[in-house]
Amino acid sequence: MPRKRPILLEETPYKPLRRLSIEVALLPWGATEAHNTHLPCGTDNMQARMIGREAARIACERGAKVLVLPTIPFGVNTGQFDVPGTINMNPSTQMAVLEDVVTSLEHQRIPKLVVLNGHGGNEFKWMIRELQPKHRIFLSALNWWTIADARKYFDEPGDHGGEMETSIMMHIAPEQVLPLGEAGEGRERKRKIRAFREGWAWSPRQWSKATHDTGIGNPKAATAEKGRHYFEAVAGKIAEFLVELSAADPKDLYE
């Protein structure tokens, strides 16, 4: 039996679109930035898009009514202006874009929106806190890399362009990945101030000083098989969420 395709807005003509009943819009949101020396600058976009499509496919097979929106390809990269290939979108700009998407969906009576975040520099909680009181549409967000414990799948997952991301890309877009011999070691330069190293104080990292090759985490142990297992685990969990959310009444979410 052929796998059911998810409903992808950018590939759906207007005539069948008018007949669709949609409960949840899924908005993948990535970034355009260097990912070590062997992964494409659109890695975050490809991962968010493919994970979102697979999660929506599984959810639709289980009866959910999910529409996958086009991926937004620019994220917050204010610490990487000096790194070639970086396209920054400020948080305030993201807020304006998100509100325009929310307003559009609300006019079309789509009751729920999920932002599927694919970039660590993006932060949607504060935006949703500000937008939710002004709109009827139910808003939520998730970071896909937090859903399944990467340590169960990878020897050294890494923070950026390491074993985890390389493995996923080897699974979903192998033709876009250079041979591992072309990859840097992903060695991080630790900060001098202890509070930043320990994580209880925070400031943006200046990426060109934090790493030699734009990667953090060694990708050398990456394989497509590891990527497939992790990809399937993450997409499966998101699908479960979409099924529940699709069937839920936003006004009745508490026991």
The CATH code of the domain that includes 184 is 3.40.50.10310
Model pLDDT, residue 5:
74
Q: What is the spatial distance between Cα 122 and Cα 98, in angstroms, rounded to a whole number?
A: 12
**Given a cut of 80, is residue 4 above it in pLDDT?**
no
Residue 221 maps to a domain: yes
Report the SS3 class of residue 190: coil
Q: Give the range of the structural domain holding residue 178, as residue numbers without chain letter.
A: 7-247
**Given a cut of 90, is residue 3 above it in pLDDT?**
no
Q: Mean pLDDT over all residues of the chain?
A: 96
Residue 2 maps to a domain: no
Amino acid identity of 91? Answer: P
Beta strand pairing status for 24-29 and 112-117? parallel
The pTM is what?
0.96
Residue 185 maps to a domain: yes
**Structural tokens at position 106:** 């609300």
Residue 163 maps to a domain: yes
**Structural tokens at position 221:** 């142990």
- φ and ψ at residue 73, rounded to 5 degrees: -95, 5
Residue 255 maps to a domain: no
Residue 1 maps to a domain: no
Give whole-number Cα distances, 203 to 191, 196, 199, in Å.
11, 8, 10
Say if residues 138 and 113 touch (Cβ distance below 8 Å): yes
Model pLDDT, residue 1:
45
Which tens digit of pLDDT belongs to each residue from 113-144?
Answer: 999 999 999 999 999 999 999 999 999 999 99
Report the SS3 class of residue 39: strand
Domain count, the chain: 1
Name the more confident of 113 and 1. 113
Residue 142 maps to a domain: yes
Residues 7-24 have a mean pLDDT of 94
Closest residue by Cα to residue 250 from 136, 102, 126: 136
Q: What is the spatial distance between Cα 38 and Cα 219, in angstroms, rounded to a whole number?
A: 10
Closest residue by Cα to residue 76 from 130, 125, 33: 33
Residue 35 maps to a domain: yes
Which tens digit of pLDDT belongs to each residue from 212-232?
Answer: 999 999 999 999 999 999 999
Report the SS3 class of residue 142: strand
In the block, residue with structure tokens 């991301």: 165
134 exposed, middle or buried (CB, 10 Å; 0-12, 13-18, 19+)?
Answer: exposed
